[in-house]
Amino acid sequence: MELITQPLVIGLTEDAPLVLAAIGFALLYRLTGLINVAYAETITLGAYFGMWLNTSFGLDFYAVVLPAGLLAGAVSVATYLVVFRPAKQRNVGVLEMIIISFGLSIFLRHGLQFFFGYPTRFYDVPPPDTIYVLGVGVTSFRLLAVASVAALSLLLYLFIQRSSYGLKIRALASDEDLAKVSGIRPLAVTVLIWFLAGVAGGLAGAFLGVGSSVAPLLGWREFLLILMVVLVGGTWGLGGVILVGMATSVALAALALQFDQILYAQLVLIVAFVIILKVRGTRLTETAKV
Amino acid sequence: MLDWLDAFLITGLFHVVMITGLALLLHLQLGLARIANFGIVGFWGIGMYTFGVLYVQVDWSFGDPWQFLVCAAAATLVAGVAGLLVGWLIADLDTDGVLVVTLGFATAVQILATTQDDLTGGARGMGGLGFPYDIGSVKENEFLWLVILAAVVAAILLYVWRVHRSPYGRSLIAVGGNEPLARSLGKSTFRTKLWLFAVTSAAMGLLGAMFGVMVRFLDVGQIGIGITLAAMVGLVLGGTARVWGAVVGVVLTVGLFDIVVQSYLPLPKEWYTQAIPVLREAIFGATLIVVLLFRPLGILGDMQRDKLMRKIHGE
């Protein structure tokens, strides 16, 4: 029994931020068609903003989570307005767009060290309470992370599928010209997408940061996994991303327990995802490859 | 001898020449075939570690220079096979898939170098490497190694220059321009991509092995994203479509920081430990954005096709 419950509980609680970050990344990817490598830094900045609010103003972790997410959302919108929107207006190609986002990722990752300092930083929080779930000890921060991930996923899903803004977002994603003719203002809606994605990334970062430490590579370490979850799960929509994200988290925990080494678990997952992508790529018909 | 030459300058020049080699190879992938390889450091690193592990851990019955030659050949071969595998994996994938696979490959190499620490030394590092010759002081040995590296990179430059003027080069350009069209004309784009990745990755592996000899101490910190970034920013700034783009761009980026800033600017000493390296990467990142936004083809601009192509296009 422990063989199943342990990875299940550890995976779902420890890697809940991963699912949240994947949702944000998937929003951007599916609705704007952009692979944004700098999303890694949205996560990192969320962790830094939370730590900064927490240590500079002595605020409680629960009080800084949301502001950290909102600040990360603002940065995300700023990157869109300053970099990606001009790039789109100049008709930059898909390949160049990825390299631009890679450049932005590197720029932010190193630039932020001039503001927050070079050494690894920590949240100043009292040791969290341990709560036992199915016999496995989980910290209260992690449970809050799970609860927020669940609530936010549901909210985002309802917002996109049910609200009128969601309809506009989906309309814009499927046909921009048609959406414009229907009276949708592309700028406002696109800014909204970038903001929501940024908030999701920032929250994920704050939860990751309070769980361990805050360092410039925090988001980048998660990025490959997020990218793979979104590319594989995204085929089945936002629900697919959430499911594949959760399955990845549990598999990561199970493999890490098996090998006693988290790096081996990551290696196995990288190989598995690459095989899935390869098999799917080969199955495409000749016209679909065009 | 060589009193006029600063030790920092030799290291800086070595770095510039090596990154130029990597950027030239990336030019074939990104500039001609338009495949964005984000895992350059993986191929370079697998060469470096294969060389290091074979050189240090295996009890060879013969000494240098044969030991070096055998190990370096093995490193080149392993990197080439890795390139063949990655080339096969990405052959059907779009740019998003290529990003995942090449990044994944580089991460896998880093994970293996960290976890197999009984072989690689992992985060502690691995010493015991040295030059395959001894002509005197350390500085003289390093200088000769720099000259040998320059010869290897010159050979790569010559190869890239010849590819531009060969049928193989034209099929690379066709893959980059319009792959379905190239395929419908009967060109095997699959084989072209496999060959491209096998050859360029093997050469990246050789450069990695030569770097290992130069630093004489390997640790996993060396196989970070910085190598990929340096090669990419150099190529993009100089011009992805041009042979000399890599050379011009790397001299202006890596050369500026690793030679001019490192050896000639009178900056406070404490800046060199953290501020300068961090600033270097931040500026490299910003350069990628600015160049691709305002001058996507870099300093040198568009490809100068050969006479026949110019005649066809009536230029």
**A202 has a pLDDT exceeding 50:** yes
Mean predicted confidence (pLDDT) in A45-58:
92
Query: A133 — alpha (psi -120 to 50), left (phi > 0) or beta?
Result: beta
Three-state SS annotation for chain B: CCCCCCHHHHHHHHHHHHHHHHHHHHHHHHHHCCCCCCCHHHHHHHHHHHHHHHHHHCCCCCCCCHHHHHHHHHHHHHHHHHHHHHHHHHCCCCHHHHHHHHHHHHHHHHHHHHHCHHHHCCCCCECCCCCCCCCCCHHHHHHHHHHHHHHHHHHHHHHHHHHHCCHHHHHHHHHHHHHHHHHHCCCCHHHHHHHHHHHHHHHHHHHHHHHHHHHCCECHHHHCHHHHHHHHHHHHHHCCCCCCHHHHHHHHHHHHHHHHHHHHCCCCHHHHCCHHHHHHHHHHHHHHHHHHHHCCCCCCCCCCCCHHHHHHCCC
Q: Exposure string (b/e) for B146-156, b if CB count within 10 Å is 16 or more?
A: beebbebbeeb
Contact A42, A20 (CB under 8 A): no
For residue A86, give the nearest of B180, B278, B293 by CB distance.
B293
Q: Provide the chain A residues 154-183 that lie in CB contact (below 8 A) with chain B.
A: none
pLDDT of residue B236: 94
Is the CB of B104 less than 8 angstroms away from the CB of A270?
A: yes
Closest CA to A41 of A21, A27, A23: A21
B180 touches chain A (CB under 8 A): yes
| pLDDT category of residue B65 using cuts at 50, 70 and 90 | confident
Structure tokens at B9: 């300058």
Query: Which of A25, A32, A102, A286 to probe by mutation at the B interface, max B CB count within 10 Å?
Result: A102
Is the CB of B282 less than 8 angstroms away from the CB of A94?
A: no
CA distance B3 to chain A (A): 37
Structure tokens at B298: 């870099």
Show residues of chain B in contact with A98, CB under 8 Å.
36, 95-96, 99
Mean predicted confidence (pLDDT) in A128-156:
80
Please determine, for the modelled complex, whether the ipTM score is greater than 0.90. yes
pTM here is: 0.92
A89 touches chain B (CB under 8 A): no
**B128 has a pLDDT exceeding 50:** yes
Say how many C-beta atoms besides its own lie within 10 A of residue B305's C-beta.
16
Q: In this structure, what DSSP letter does residue A118 have?
A: S
pLDDT of residue A288: 39
Could you read off the pLDDT of B41-58 as tens digits, one per residue?
Answer: 999 999 999 999 999 888
Show residues of chain A in contact with B30, CB under 8 Å.
95
pLDDT of residue B181: 87
pLDDT of residue A285: 43
Could you read off the pLDDT of A118-141 as tens digits, one per residue?
Answer: 888 888 888 777 878 777 777 878
Show residues of chain B in contact with A114, CB under 8 Å.
278, 282
User: Closest chain A residue to B278 measured between Cα atoms?
Assistant: A110
User: Closest chain B residue to A271 measured between Cα atoms?
Assistant: B104
Name which of A126-140, A255-269, B74-88, B197-211 the model is least confident about. Answer: A126-140
Say how many C-beta atoms besides its own lie within 10 A of residue B90's C-beta.
26
Is pLDDT larger for residue A24 or for residue A173?
Answer: A24
Contact B144, B2 (CB under 8 A): no
B62 contacts: CB under 8 Å, gap ≥ 6: none
Domain ranges of chain A: 16-234
| pLDDT category of residue A286 using cuts at 50, 70 and 90 | very low
> Could you give all domains of chain B from N- to C-terminal order, each with its CATH number?
7-312 (1.10.3470)
